[in-house]
Amino acid sequence: MRKILIKRAAQTALFLYLYFATSFVFSENISQMPGKLYPALCICFVNNKIGWIGGHFGKIWHTKDRGKSWELQNSSTTKNIADIYFVDEKYGWAVGYGGLILYTSDGGIHWIKQKSPLTYFWKTVYFKDKKHGWIAGEMGTVLGTKDGGKKWNVLITGDDVLFNSITFSPDGHGWVAGEFGVIYASNDSQKWFLQDNGVASQDYTVWSISYIGDQMVMASGVASLLLFKQDYSSKWKALHSLERLNKEKSLFRILKFKDKFICVGQKAIFYSKKTAGPWKPAKIKDQLPYGEWLYDAWSNKEGIWVLGIKGSIYKSSNGIEWEKVR
């Protein structure tokens, strides 16, 4: 019991560091300085040139030149931005603390608050198109919309668990995951049910879950946790091929880029051509700044970007060799 409590405390400390501690160390005035992307929490690119970053104090930054320069957009909020998602160059959503849901139809020139049915902390957002989207976060809650967020409906809620990540397949199957290794699934994006993944316990937190194609899904989390699901009907399988490389560090993001699987750890980026490995550390051209933690990642057909909480951005066109954008 004592061991479980210690592990739980460690996971809580990690969460608090990422979302709260940096607010006390670095003032809001620092984050308002032109070019400052700190503290950064989420990244999204719609093509090779245009992207957004969200962070503490309601800060949203925008780039039009591949991430070389960034301009601060007016989000009209001081609440932390936990996740951001754009379906094209104009339409996007951002979510965060206190039931925060923001919407833009002009690339972020104007951000408009949408009404949330609950004032929970929203951790993750995903949109299939301009109308159909989902949000997940505190108290095991998933929201859904069919009209671009004019109305958000509560699909599930009530569990004492924070959902960290949500993903969908093109045909409407969905998965959401978070604390204690809890994973819920849906066959129609509306009704959700708890899935047995074989590791759900106090020992684990899932940071990221990603649909990787051909009915396959992967998840990553604390203590080098990697989970793999072969298809919609198969059971989750725990993979242990990253333990020797990453030891007990968290794996914050898992995704597929072209023919490779990419996994982002605290201090390294790993790649593999097979889900079970072998996984190898990618080559990062420039050394990570002191105290930097790689935390979020985004990919499209043109490239893949990795974001650190101090605002460092790394980009790759093959998943193996990475260069620092800023």
On the question of pLDDT at 2 being above 90, the answer is no
**Do residues 7 and 1 make contact, with C-beta atoms less than 8 angstroms apart?**
no
| Closest of 255, 274, 275, 266 to residue 316, by C-alpha | 255
Give the pLDDT of residue 296. Answer: 96
Average pLDDT for 201-208 = 87
**Do residues 216 and 234 make contact, with C-beta atoms less than 8 angstroms apart?**
no
On the question of pLDDT at 8 being above 60, the answer is no
On the question of pLDDT at 269 being above 90, the answer is yes
| Closest of 264, 244, 269, 265 to residue 320, by C-alpha | 269
Higher-confidence position of 309 and 192: 192
HEC string of 235-282? CEEEECCCHHHHCCCCEEEEEEECCEEEEEECCCEEEECCCCCCCEEC
On the question of pLDDT at 42 being above 90, the answer is yes
Phi, psi of 244 (to 5 degrees): -70, -25
CA separation for the pair 6, 265 (Å, rounded): 22
Give the pLDDT of residue 241. Answer: 73
On the question of pLDDT at 185 being above 70, the answer is yes
Spell out the domains of the chain, with CATH numbers in brackets.
2-239 (2.130.10.10)
pTM, 2 dp: 0.88
Q: Quickly state the pLDDT bin for 224 (edges 50, 70, 90).
A: confident
Residue 311's alpha-carbon distances to 31, 61, 85, 171, 324, in angstroms, are 10, 11, 18, 35, 11
Q: Quickly state the pLDDT bin for 37 (edges 50, 70, 90).
A: low
Average pLDDT for 8-34 = 42
CA separation for the pair 234, 229 (Å, rounded): 6
Give the pLDDT of residue 199. Answer: 81
Give the pLDDT of residue 14. Answer: 52
Give the chain's mean pLDDT. 88
- Range from 15-19, 61-65, 118-122, 319-323 carrying the lowest mean pLDDT: 15-19
What's the burial of 121, exposed, middle or buried (CB within 10 Å: 0-12/13-18/19+)?
buried
pLDDT digits (tens, 9 = 90+) for 93-135: 999 999 999 999 999 999 999 999 999 999 999 999 999 999 9
Give the pLDDT of residue 248. Answer: 62
Q: Quickly state the pLDDT bin for 279 (edges 50, 70, 90).
A: very high
Average pLDDT for 82-95 = 98
Q: Quickly state the pLDDT bin for 38 (edges 50, 70, 90).
A: low
CA separation for the pair 295, 316 (Å, rounded): 16
On the question of pLDDT at 25 being above 50, the answer is no
CA separation for the pair 102, 125 (Å, rounded): 11
